[in-house]
A and B are shown apart, each in its own frame.
Chain A
Amino acid sequence: MSVPVSMKVNGKAVTATVEPDTLLVTFLREHLRLTGTHVGCDTAQCGACTIHVNGRAAKSCNMLAVQAQGAELTTIEGVTPAEGMHPMQAAFKTCHGLQCGFCTPGMVMSAIDLVTHHPHGDEQQIREGLEGNFCRCTGYHNIVKAVALGAKAMGV
């Protein structure tokens, strides 16, 4: 029953065979051991599994691995530079935009997508833009500040 898939993950070509019902997030976590992408729910509500698919944020629990055939994927591991951090990651640290860290990779991936496509959002727009990501620790207060700072640092 296994089917072949090939895609580009964090800049590297990946080819594998998977069961057709394998979720993309399972493929990333279990097959590629990219465990920075997390699973926080089973209804595509929490956003902990957010990655970039062809440059746009997507919930990887809500796609099958086979649906990513031929796609270019970026995970939190992929946005992290060889040394240091991406400006959005650094902004989260500066603003204390994370506590337990579990929602954080998905939140950062959403934030990068948000400010890339909506560069000059005010507080309310940032809040609405993060609607797809739950954080239970921070009350979002510092995340909102981090996204604004990250946007500035990214020069968008």
Chain B
Amino acid sequence: MNDPKVGFIGKSVERKEDYRFLTGQGQYTDDVTLPNQTHAVFVRSPLAHAKIRSIDTAAAAKSDGVLAVFTGKDLGAIGGLPCGWLITSIDGTPMKEPKHPVLAEDKVRHVGDQVALVVAETLAQAKAAASLVDVDYDALPAVANTATAAGAKTAVHDIAPDNVCYTWGCGDKAAVDAAFAKAAHVTTLEFVNNRLVPNAIEPRAANAVYSRADDSYTLYVANQNPHVERLLMTAFVLGLPEHKVRVIAPDVGGGFGSKIFLYAEDTALVWASKRVGRPIKWTAERSESFLTDAHGRDHVTKAELALDAAGKFLALRVHTTANLGAYLSTFASAVPTILYATLLAGQYATPAIYAEVKGVFTNTAPVDAYRGAGRPEATYVVERIVETAARELKLDPAELRRRNFIHAFPYATPVGLTYDTGDYDATLNRAVELADVKGYAARKAASAKKGLLRGIGYSCYIEACGIAPSNVAGALGARAGLFEAGEVRVHPTGKVTVFTGSHSHGQGHETTFAQVVADKLGIPLDDVDIQHGDTGKILFGMGTYGSRSLAVGGTAIFKAVDKVIAKGKKIAAHMLEAAEGDIEFKNGEFRVAGTDRKKAFAEISLSAYVPHNYPLDKLEPGLNENAFYDPTNFTYPAGSYVCEVEVDPATGLVRVDRLTAVDDFGNVVNPMIVEGQVHGGLAQGIGQALLEGAHYDAEGQLLTGSFMDYALPRADDLPSFMVETAKGTPCTHNPLGVKGCGEAGAIGSPPAVINAITDALWHLGVRDVPMPASPHTVWKTIRSAAK
């Protein structure tokens, strides 16, 4: 049971939100059924690339129960779905921004592209009618391959005839070239960072209703940032007044990035709700999720690391082609650039780094942020090439890392970031200890007796979280601010409701944020409730992604609580007939310093709402404060992961035997929740390394379009993990000293797994194993190395 007493920071208190989830009382978007509910189905393109000659909706419109059928023509002059980040190419030209229509206009550009919207009384009727919509397609050749998209014969968009959205550069190319010219050793790697489908277990869903009474709209939607959804939808697409649209993201069943974005379906439903005059619900089937949720990763990379004779890194050079998919999703342009190349220093004092990224259009689903978003891709580059260099130089991979670690902070990297704090030796040393690296040789010998090849791999990652200082983001092309807002409403009885612009879809904010507030106010945890996910309740919010919630959203709340305490001191000074400067607040009591004259928190709150004995001439009644917090820097969580695998050379089967993760997240509010976040990240990272991969064929058909073909990790695919949060180096620029933990596991683990597999197979001549390292892939790699 939770301790009802005060002092909650650093305690693994059980989650306040669990009861409703465990008892089936969560309210996810599909659970919301409104009076006069209607149901929607989208007609989707079966072809990856085609001209639309005509769409005949007559038969569908006459079908049983059908209320309306809409196509792109019906939408008229509404805007396309916007991209929130402008990337500028090396030659100074802005990225190509083709229109992303809400419903297809003249062409379809990926399988699943939405062509028509059918609204009917029941879902079954909508489905039946959707099959009657007759679309006459003129098929075009498809561009489906990341590596060959640039300059392919077919253009996905007329405004980008070579399929290149941008060619972007980061770092000092001349300095890097000079460093390579004098290098004692150069390690080169070419690899693919495999395309992933986020697959939150709750599919995307939306339910839109128009109120004629006050000309307003309400949208329930499975989304990570309802205010951003509303802003983009009203201001850029539908031209609706922002204050007449309420967006509610109720309980949301996982996001992992995929529910950040403004999607066509949500937008079309809001538009159609006024035309139909009744609420319209749409819930994706899993096959629609595979076809239309924004995917992640999908890079093709060549990386080169230059070292001197002492094993010091001189320079890193990276060329990446990043698949952006058929259209630019909300943050698609930023993920393989701003969130990728800026992380290529990793934990190392590499003096010169240059990265060049070509973003390409293809006839595939849009690609955007997925857990880690650019930072896993960067970590994969750095940690694979560092480990490979160590093996080529016959050095201990841990030792080579130590030799190159950044040791002095703050540290300005050659790729634009300034790390405020860290202790990379501490996390690596602890990981080596916890993973029992000393016992590795014995375990390897034991595996060998069973005919299995054991390997060990390291990964020392860094990430930039707490996104982001708005002015820095703006200078880098962001079209939005990245602050967060919070409101602390103290009720007359001293109970507190907190309204946060962050959104919880598994992260446990209702508990963690309550811990912060209860701890600071010295009141019981049960006296604090957290509200989120509703533009009708929350003053504003940028939402949850990029491991930003506690560092940015939590800080906004923290600052609002500071304001509550400051006002409480004024009230207390009046009531206690003391100078304001003499009032101290501790353990839920306002006290005249050095005396026993005091007022409890609830006495002050009552006075604020019953202001009889109150300084009304100087102070407004009430105790309700809000704060906006814009961080001054990113936060830089970092950690060291050690993975041990056993590979069966006869079958190629890889088993992760041990995965040890030691993370420095700065201060930790709820260790249980933080470790849970790491576990989930590790599972997704191991999933990327061993199991998951989205594959399109040459015609742009998704071959991995269901859970029958796309291997999501199951319980028996994974080991138990050894996870420890290091004592840590608190973030220096937010008052909680927190850094963010949501993405770490997914960032750090893929290279640790692949480094372990390549270690196991190094003596066979294997230098790289593509992800996912499925049994077939590993078996083939062993066979081809032997030739």
Contact = CB atoms under 8 A, between A and B. Distances in A.
B683 A40 contact: no
Given A38-B253, A42-B286, A142 B679 contact: yes
B30 interface: yes
Nearest to B32: A35
A136 B28 contact: no
Interface string B268-293: 00000000000000010111000000
Contacts of B508: 99
B708 interface: yes
B26 to A, nearest CB: 5
B488 interface: no
Interface stretch (A52-60, A64-72, A122-130): A122-130
A92 interface: yes
B716 A101 contact: no
Interface residues of B, number: 60
Interface in B1-30: 14-15, 17-28, 30
Interface string A92-110: 1110101111111100100
Nearest to A95: B672
Contact of A45 (B21, B31, B256, B707): B707
Given A42-B287, A137-B506, A139-B680, A85 B19 contact: yes
A139 B22 contact: no
Contact of B18 (A77, A98, A135): A98
B14 A41 contact: no
Secondary structure of the A side of the interface?
loop
B251 interface: yes
Contacts of B202: 38, 40, 100, 102
A99 B680 contact: yes
A104 to B, nearest CB: 5
Contacts of B23: 36, 76-77, 80, 85, 89
B672 A96 contact: yes
B201 A34 contact: no
A26 to B, nearest CB: 8
B673 interface: yes
Contact of A100 (B201, B203, B681): B201
Contacts of A37: 24
Given A138-B680, A140-B715, A41 B286 contact: yes
Contacts of B24: 34-37, 75-77, 80, 105
Contact of B26 (A21, A102, A139): A102
A100 to B, nearest CB: 3
A36 B708 contact: no
Contacts of B27: 35
Contacts of A33: 33
A34 B713 CA distance: 28
B684 A42 contact: no
A130 B251 CA distance: 24
A136 B712 contact: yes
Given A42-B287, A93-B22, A102-B253, A136 B200 contact: yes
Contacts of A104: 21-22
Contacts of B14: 93-94, 96
A39 interface: yes
A150 to B, nearest CB: 11
Given A139-B680, A140-B718, A134 B707 contact: yes
B252 interface: yes
Given A85-B22, A105-B24, A138-B679, A100 B254 contact: yes
A99 B506 contact: yes
B715 A100 contact: no
Contacts of B19: 85, 93
Nearest to A45: B707
B199 interface: yes
B253 A93 contact: no
Contacts of B682: 139
Contacts of A133: 715
B13 to A, nearest CB: 10
A139 B30 contact: no
Interface in B23-66: 23-28, 30-31, 33
Nearest to A101: B21
Given A38-B202, A46-B286, A140-B714, 4 more contacts: A89-B23, A101-B26, A127-B718, A134-B714
The 5 A-B pairs at the shortest CB distance, nearest first, are namely: A36-B24, A101-B21, A102-B253, A139-B683, A100-B506
